[in-house]
């Protein structure tokens, strides 16, 4: 059905109790407003209005079904959303992701999805709600604030697992197209009919839920995204409510037509999920050293070595770049141009000074927020002045850069006149020394004449109080008080202070003179109001509150004046954060000898002497390698990597696989950093999928192998010709024959895509797949590679490894391969070479780590039988004479031990147990 977009009136925002009362939105189609009456949509799902118009057509079903509905929420700086496309019958989900202060990600999601209806939680951030409301008002859509109970993650997960696409396997989907099958009976209308129907179909609701929880990760990784699960639940509940009202359908969520669930890829942003980030060690949280602290810090990770930012905004922007690498060539090349400018030798001093200026700035957006709330402190005003000062110095430093074509555009955002006016206005108004002493914002002299008069009177009040005290003391009897003072208390005014008399502590109490009124007393003094004090209150007034009020008015006026520059300051803050990130990239690139990659539109990865950015920091020597992969044509596959990395040797913990280096270099290039390689020509990659590490947990339903299958399934469903897939030892978690078959099947499925085949790097030890033309280099566009090893004899003479088979020598005999003798050594070179290897050297590794020679010889014999499919020969083996003699001796020893009489009468006195045991077993010779 073609989709009809209905223009809607401006939506209204929710008010009142969000949990108890609904929000009514009036939806009107301007083109048919006279023929079709308006309807009211409420929270409880009831749609009021006539079910049919005068022509007899349904007025509430067709338009509602074809509308795109999006549910989104944002809490604690993280955003998630899900929307349903009624044309494709697909639910698109966006996992929990950090959002910035400008809500750029929210705006991008709304623009990309173009929803007709937006739902959000009543507990979502206020600014997020404002952004969604403004967008829907501009697009003419409907905006609703739903109760938070609809966005609970647990409910959302239950609703998601109720979808047929997840809960029903193919064996149970044979009846989906025959709802009126007489053998199955009518549609279930209650719980008993439902259970009977499921049993007749051979299914079980508990089994269906289990199937759904297992298959969920095949479509999207949302188990660790509570906000995303909540939005999915709210979306499904809305769709069920609209469908029930429009079609009078009571099937609930199971009746929704959902053909697919896909992650929502942002335009111009690389898609990389949490599993891939974990496998590539992009982020690594380390717990605090103290067990009493729940804080974490960044460990050895890519973010940890690239993050040298000096500001809070810079660190937040850096993390945003890491979570959402760019796919826009102009953006990536602009960042590379800036980094190239900063790493130039003649710009190093200037770049260092710029980083120092950034270190002196504070989180200015937070300062502006505090100012808008009227709660700015002295430190906030000082931070604003320091930002204006350092921004001017930054602009001067930018102007001094040589070959600064990549950063000249940043100069326009740093307005010199505005920052000078901000700094001068604040410095000329606020008295920093007095503010520090008073603990509040104080105003300088000669700023306001009225304030200066109040302060002049306040500072000279001591002399006035002394004169008044002398005059009052003349009217006070000498026996009443030997001395008195006139004091001033803010908000209490002027008071007469008289020392406390001893007799006033008795029952008579404090004696009050005529014309005086008692105010309060302390342990040593009593305070009164006299007529003179009332006169001073009237004529002089309460000075301190008057001064504070006047200063507040002046500071408020200054604050309003500063807020007029808020937009310019915000742009300058964004520029400073971007500069902070680019300077950090430049510092790291200069320190670790990173080179600028050449970004191209071609779908290619061509790396010369690539290195791992993390592993090279923790090893004495790192061996770089070359890589060349073309997407859409074939697969670049590391067919086998030697046992030095796969059989748990020491080198496994120190040297990474070449596939991880490829992904990290591509990832670093698209976030805007230089890469650890001599040179690199890289095309844009839109998605990175990995099957490298398995993150197991007792809370997950899946086994380790099922988790691996989920990761591969997710890659196969969502990969494009520009995607990069890393498969490391896929299939090793199950029976070797089944694992090898799955590995071959996955590669051939990818190859069947032809020009739409993604870039794939695969490693395996399944040598059997290279036999019988399962993966023939002559028939399939696969490049076979292996990791070189160096074999040395007992005489320290190098042995040429004959097990590295080039494509041209594929028919080489197994018997001609080198067999290591006792004492021979093996050294792993970690150098990629052409051809594939049919020997893992696992037995040699076992000997190096102390496994007895007789065990490794037996393992070598069995391995050869398995390779020739002659394992049945083991059944015909007979024991040798020495083995038979050893077995007989062991049997005799066992019989003697069992026949040993342990009764006290048959034991020799004072004979040690060890000697008695040796005598019985015949071992005392």
Assess if residue 33 is contained within a domain: no
For the domain that residue 700 is a member of, what is the CATH number? 3.40.50.300
Judge if 383 and 507 occupy the same domain.
no
For residues 826 and 647, the answer to whether their CB atoms sit within 8 Å is: no
Is a pLDDT exceeding 50 seen at residue 44?
Answer: no
For the domain that residue 396 is a member of, what is the CATH number? 1.10.1420.10
What's the pLDDT at 813?
Answer: 41
Which residue, 404, 81, 131, is CA-closest to 235?
81
Q: Following DSSP, what letter does each residue of 767-813 receive, concatenated?
A: GGGGSTTTT-TTTS-EE-EEEEEEEE-TTS-EE--TTEE-GGGTT--
Contacts of 439 (CB under 8 A, 6+ apart): 378
Burial of 269 (C-beta count, 10 Å sphere; 0-12/13-18/19+): middle
For residues 590 and 673, the answer to whether their CB atoms sit within 8 Å is: no
**Average pLDDT score over residue span 634-641:** 41
Higher pLDDT residue, 392 or 1?
392
Report the alpha-carbon distance of residue 784 to residue 635 in Å, rounded. 10
Assess if residue 575 is contained within a domain: yes
Judge if 348 and 487 occupy the same domain.
no
What's the pLDDT at 152?
Answer: 92
- pLDDT tens track for 743-761: 999 998 998 888 888 999 9
Q: What percent of the chain has pLDDT over 70?
A: 79
What's the pLDDT at 307?
Answer: 92
**Residue 575 DSSP SS3:** helix
What's the pLDDT at 46?
Answer: 39
Which residue, 671, 613, 740, is CA-closest to 301?
613
For residues 167 and 228, the answer to whether their CB atoms sit within 8 Å is: no
Residue 727 bridge partners (DSSP):
691, 762
Assess if residue 801 is contained within a domain: no
Backbone phi, then psi, for 217, in 5-degree steps? -70, -15
**Average pLDDT score over residue span 714-732:** 89
What's the pLDDT at 203?
Answer: 57
Report the alpha-carbon distance of residue 485 to residue 467 in Å, rounded. 10
Report the alpha-carbon distance of residue 401 to residue 346 in Å, rounded. 8
Residue 648: pLDDT band (50, 70, 90) is very low
Judge if 234 and 85 occupy the same domain.
yes
C-alpha distances in Å from residue 553, one per residue of 347, 373, 565, 798: 47, 15, 19, 88
What's the pLDDT at 73?
Answer: 94
**Average pLDDT score over residue span 776-797:** 74
Judge if 674 and 617 occupy the same domain.
yes
Judge if 501 and 442 occupy the same domain.
no
- Residue 583, Ramachandran bin (φ over 0: left; ψ between -120 and 50: alpha; else beta): alpha
Judge if 775 and 673 occupy the same domain.
yes
Integer-rounded Cα Rg, in Å, for the chain is: 40
**Average pLDDT score over residue span 189-217:** 67
For residues 730 and 708, the answer to whether their CB atoms sit within 8 Å is: yes
For residues 764 and 729, the answer to whether their CB atoms sit within 8 Å is: yes
Chosen domain end from 783, 803, 818:
783
Burial of 897 (C-beta count, 10 Å sphere; 0-12/13-18/19+): exposed
Contacts of 870 (CB under 8 A, 6+ apart): none
Q: What angle is formed at CA 654 by the lines to CA 676 and CA 767, rounded to 5 degrees? A: 100
Higher pLDDT residue, 346 or 828?
346
For residues 769 and 743, the answer to whether their CB atoms sit within 8 Å is: yes
Assess if residue 226 is contained within a domain: yes
Report the alpha-carbon distance of residue 151 to residue 163 in Å, rounded. 17
What's the pLDDT at 195?
Answer: 60
Contacts of 641 (CB under 8 A, 6+ apart): 657, 658, 763, 786, 787
Assess if residue 877 is contained within a domain: no
Q: Following DSSP, what letter does each residue of 619-630 receive, concatenated?
A: SS----EEEEEE
Report the alpha-carbon distance of residue 518 to residue 528 in Å, rounded. 5
Report the alpha-carbon distance of residue 440 to residue 379 in Å, rounded. 10
Which residue, 585, 672, 673, is CA-closest to 332?
672
Judge if 605 and 578 occupy the same domain.
no
For residues 222 and 232, the answer to whether their CB atoms sit within 8 Å is: yes
DSSP state of 410: G
**Average pLDDT score over residue span 394-403:** 85
Is a pLDDT exceeding 90 seen at residue 593?
Answer: yes
Q: Following DSSP, what letter does each residue of 807-840 receive, concatenated?
A: GGGTT--GGGS----TT-EEEEEEEEEESEES--
Judge if 623 and 674 occupy the same domain.
yes
Torsion sign across C-alpha atoms 347, 351, 354, 356 = negative
Is a pLDDT exceeding 90 seen at residue 36?
Answer: no
What's the pLDDT at 645?
Answer: 33
Assess if residue 895 is contained within a domain: yes
Which residue, 13, 9, 6, is CA-closest to 26?
9
Is a pLDDT exceeding 70 seen at residue 463?
Answer: yes
Residue 335: pLDDT band (50, 70, 90) is very high
Helices 416-429/378-400 angle, 10° precision: 150
**Average pLDDT score over residue span 640-668:** 55
Higher pLDDT residue, 829 or 120?
120
Residue 343: pLDDT band (50, 70, 90) is very high
- pLDDT tens track for 122-176: 999 999 999 999 899 888 889 999 999 999 999 888 888 888 888 776 543 444 4
For residues 710 and 702, the answer to whether their CB atoms sit within 8 Å is: yes
Interior/surface letters 303-334, b for 16+ CB within 10 angstroms, e for the rest: bbebbbbbbbbbbbbbbbbbbbbbbeeeebeb
Helix (H) or strand (E) holding 682: strand 679-683
For residues 747 and 730, the answer to whether their CB atoms sit within 8 Å is: no
C-alpha distances in Å from residue 126, one per residue of 13, 74, 151, 336, 364: 11, 9, 16, 37, 20
Chosen domain end from 749, 783, 817:
783
What's the pLDDT at 532?
Answer: 86
For residues 305 and 323, the answer to whether their CB atoms sit within 8 Å is: no
Per the structure, how many domains does the chain have? 5
Judge if 440 and 456 occupy the same domain.
no
Assess if residue 646 is contained within a domain: no
Q: How many CB atoms lie within 10 A of CB 411?
A: 15
For residues 269 and 325, the answer to whether their CB atoms sit within 8 Å is: yes
Chosen domain end from 739, 755, 783:
783
Judge if 358 and 473 occupy the same domain.
no
**Average pLDDT score over residue span 336-347:** 92
- pLDDT tens track for 508-562: 788 888 888 888 888 888 899 888 888 888 888 888 888 888 888 999 999 989 9
Higher pLDDT residue, 599 or 914?
599
Judge if 276 and 381 occupy the same domain.
yes
Structure tokens at 124: 């979502």
Report the alpha-carbon distance of residue 881 to residue 886 in Å, rounded. 9
Assess if residue 763 is contained within a domain: yes
C-alpha distances in Å from residue 156, one per residue of 80, 245, 393, 697: 13, 21, 52, 21
- pLDDT tens track for 368-380: 888 888 888 999 9
Report the alpha-carbon distance of residue 139 to residue 132 in Å, rounded. 11
- pLDDT tens track for 279-320: 899 998 887 777 777 777 888 899 999 999 999 889 989 998
What's the pLDDT at 21?
Answer: 38
Judge if 423 and 324 occupy the same domain.
yes
The pTM for the full model equals 0.72
Report the alpha-carbon distance of residue 597 to residue 607 in Å, rounded. 9
Is a pLDDT exceeding 70 seen at residue 809?
Answer: no
Is a pLDDT exceeding 50 seen at residue 862?
Answer: yes
Q: What is the mean pLDDT of the chain?
A: 78
Q: How far is CA 25 from the centre of its chain?
A: 35
Strands 724-728 and 759-763: parallel
- Dihedral of CA atoms 15, 16, 19, 21 in degrees, nearest 10, equals -90
What's the pLDDT at 240?
Answer: 87
| Owning domain of residue 690 | 598-637+657-783
Helices 566-592/378-400 angle, 10° precision: 60
For residues 722 and 686, the answer to whether their CB atoms sit within 8 Å is: yes
For the domain that residue 129 is a member of, what is the CATH number? 3.30.420.110
């Amino acid at each position: 059905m073609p989709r009809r977009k209905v223009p809607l009136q401006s939506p209204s925002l929710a008010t009142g109790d969000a949990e108890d009362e609904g929000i009514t939105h009036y939806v009107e189609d301007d083109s048919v407003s006279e023929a079709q009456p308006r309807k009211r949509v409420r929270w409880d799902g009831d749609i009021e209005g006539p079910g049919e118009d005068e022509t007899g057509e349904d007025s509430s079903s067709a338009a509602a079904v074809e509308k795109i509905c999006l549910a989104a929420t944002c809490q604690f700086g993280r955003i998630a959303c899900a929307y349903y496309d009624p044309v494709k019958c697909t639910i698109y989900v966006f996992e929990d992701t950090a959002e910035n202060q400008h809500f750029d990600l929210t705006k991008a999601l709304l623009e990309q999805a173009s929803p007709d209806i937006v739902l959000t939680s009543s507990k979502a951030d206020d600014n997020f709600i404002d952004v969604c409301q403004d967008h829907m008002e501009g697009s003419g859509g409907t905006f609703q604030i739903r109760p938070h109970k609809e966005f609970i993650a647990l409910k959302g997960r239950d609703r998601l697992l109720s979808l047929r696409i997840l809960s029903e396997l193919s064996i149970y989907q044979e009846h989906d197209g025959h709802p009126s099958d007489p053998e199955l009976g009518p549609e279930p209308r209650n719980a008993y009919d439902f259970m009977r129907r499921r049993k007749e179909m051979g299914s079980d609701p508990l089994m269906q839920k289990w199937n759904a929880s297992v298959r969920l990760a095949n479509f999207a990784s949302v188990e660790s995204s509570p906000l995303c699960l909540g939005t999915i639940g709210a979306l499904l509940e809305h769709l069920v409510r609209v469908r029930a009202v429009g079609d009078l359908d009571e099937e609930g969520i199971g009746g929704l037509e959902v053909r697919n669930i896909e992650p929502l890829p942002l335009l111009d942003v690389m898609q990389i999920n949490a599993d891939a980030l974990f496998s590539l060690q992009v982020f690594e949280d380390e717990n605090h050293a103290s067990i009493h602290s729940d804080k974490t810090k960044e460990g050895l990770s890519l973010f940890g070595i690239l993050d040298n930012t000096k500001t809070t905004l810079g660190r937040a922007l850096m993390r945003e770049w890491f979570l959402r690498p760019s796919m826009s060539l102009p953006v990536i090349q602009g960042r590379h141009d800036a980094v190239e400018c900063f790493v130039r030798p003649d710009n190093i001093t200037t770049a260092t000074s710029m980083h120092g200026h950034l270190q002196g700035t504070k989180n200015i957006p937070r300062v502006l927020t505090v100012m808008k709330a009227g709660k700015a402190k002295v430190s906030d005003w000082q931070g604003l002045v320091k930002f204006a000062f350092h921004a001017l110095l930054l602009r001067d430093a930018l102007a001094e850069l040589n070959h600064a074509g990549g950063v000249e555009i940043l100069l326009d955002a740093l307005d010199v006149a505005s920052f000078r006016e901000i700094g001068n206005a604040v410095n000329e108004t606020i008295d920093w020394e007095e503010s520090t002493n008073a603990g509040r914002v104080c105003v300088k002299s000669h700023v306001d004449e009225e304030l200066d008069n109040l302060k002049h009177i306040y500072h000279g009040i001591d002399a006035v109080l002394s004169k008044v005290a002398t005059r009052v003391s003349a009217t006070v009897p000498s026996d009443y008080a030997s001395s008195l003072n006139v004091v001033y208390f803010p908000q209490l005014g002027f008071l007469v202070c008289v020392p406390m008399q001893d007799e006033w502590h008795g029952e008579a109490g404090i004696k009050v003179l005529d014309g005086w009124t008692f105010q309060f007393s302390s342990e040593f003094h009593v305070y009164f109001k006299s007529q003179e004090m009332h006169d001073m209150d009237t004529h002089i007034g309460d000075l301190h509150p008057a001064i504070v009020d006047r200063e507040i008015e002046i500071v408020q006026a200054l604050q309003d004046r500063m807020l007029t520059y808020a937009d310019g300051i915000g742009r300058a803050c964004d520029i400073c954060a971007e500069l902070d990130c680019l300077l950090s990239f430049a510092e790291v690139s200069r320190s670790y000898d990173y080179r600028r990659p050449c970004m191209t539109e071609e779908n290619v990865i061509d790396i010369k002497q690539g290195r791992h950015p993390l592993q090279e920091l923790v090893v004495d020597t790192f061996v770089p390698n070359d890589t060349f992969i073309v997407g859409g044509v074939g697969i670049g596959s590391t067919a086998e990597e030697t046992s030095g990395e796969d059989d748990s040797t020491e080198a496994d913990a120190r040297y990474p696989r070449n596939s991880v280096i490829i992904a990290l270099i591509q990832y670093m290039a698209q976030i805007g950093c230089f890469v650890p390689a001599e040179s690199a020509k890289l095309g844009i990659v839109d998605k990175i999928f990995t099957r490298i590490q398995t993150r197991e947990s007792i809370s997950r339903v899946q086994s380790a192998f099922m988790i691996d299958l989920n990761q591969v399934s997710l890659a196969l469903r969502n990969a494009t010709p520009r995607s990069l897939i890393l498969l490391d030892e896929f299939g090793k978690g199950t029976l070797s024959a089944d694992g090898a078959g799955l590995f071959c099947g996955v590669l051939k499925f990818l190859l069947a895509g032809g020009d739409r085949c993604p870039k794939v790097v695969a490693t395996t030890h399944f040598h059997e797949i290279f036999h019988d033309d399962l993966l023939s280099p002559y028939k399939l566009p696969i490049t076979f590679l292996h990791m070189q090893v160096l074999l040395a004899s007992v005489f320290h003479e190098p042995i040429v490894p004959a097990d590295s088979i080039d494509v041209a020598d594929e028919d080489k005999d197994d018997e001609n391969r080198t067999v290591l003798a006792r004492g021979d050594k093996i050294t792993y070179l970690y150098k990629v070479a052409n051809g594939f290897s049919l020997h893992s050297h696992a037995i040699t590794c076992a000997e190096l780590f102390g496994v007895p020679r007789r065990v490794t010889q037996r393992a070598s014999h069995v391995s050869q039988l398995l390779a020739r499919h002659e394992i049945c020969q083991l059944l015909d083996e007979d024991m040798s004479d020495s083995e038979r003699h050893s077995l007989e001796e062991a049997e005799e020893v066992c019989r003697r031990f069992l026949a040993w009489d342990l009764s006290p009468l048959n034991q020799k006195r004072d004979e040690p147990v060890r000697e008695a045991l040796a005598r019985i077993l015949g071992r005392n010779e």
